[in-house]
Every structure is written in C-alpha cells, then in structure tokens.
Amino acid sequence: MSLKNFKGKRVLLYFYPKDGTPGCTSEAIEFRDAIKEFEKEDVVILGVSKDSIKSHLKFKQKHELPFTLLSDPEGKVLDLYGVWKKKSLYGRTFLGTERTTFLIDQKGIVEKVYRKVKGHAQACLLDLSHKYTHEAAPE
C-alpha cells in the first residue's frame, strides 16, 4: 500500500510503538471514537508500527478499529518519516518509534506534523476544520 492509493484524499498517518500498549491503545481508541468527524472531513486514517499483520488484526478486532493498520517490520517507512529515534526509559537507551502523526493533503504534501503526541485527535480535527494549506501549516 502506498500514499498514491489515497491521491485526492487527505491522510492522517500516525506512527505508534506497539499494538496493545496503554498509550498506543488510547491513541487508537481516540481516533476510532472520532472516525465520523474525520470522515466528514474526507480524511483517511492509517496507523503504522513495526508489529506484524497478525498483531494488527488482533488489535483492530479487540478495539473495533475502523481504519487500516500498516505493518513496517523492517522500519523502512519509519526511517523515511524520521520517527525511528533514540529513546530512553528508566536510564536505558534504545531505538524505538517516536509517536508522531502526519496530516497529509490531497497531493501528498505534509500539512502538519504532531510530535510526541498524546490525546491529539481533537487537535487534528481542529486543524482540519481550519483547512491548513501547505504554506500556512505550523511545525
């Protein structure tokens, strides 16, 4: 699957660390609960993590997620979007996915980037309602 499949539509592409973890679950549920509002704005939601397709299917089913979750086990897309980063937790340093969301316009241009996000579905909807253009989108 490629963003080319969604030409003419806006895409909310969100990267997350792992299916089933508390933060990733609450983020997915937040998008699920706001899906009708995103659909009104003609926005497709896509989630991406390194988890397997099997893991994604279980996660989608358990939480009734109405959007596509993409598997990037080799991290190629994560690297492309610059979300595979050095992280630290409890004094331990490791590489991992930085929770990041990209709002992409109908031509495939990134309109806005949301980094280290938590509880941001409503912020995305607010930005959509203001119809950011590529030139006006704040970082």
Instruction: Give catalytic residue positions.
Output: 24
Chain centroid to Cα 129, Å, comes to 18
Whether 95 contacts 17, CB under 8 Å: no
Q: Whole-angstrom Cα distance, residue 48 to residue 11? A: 13
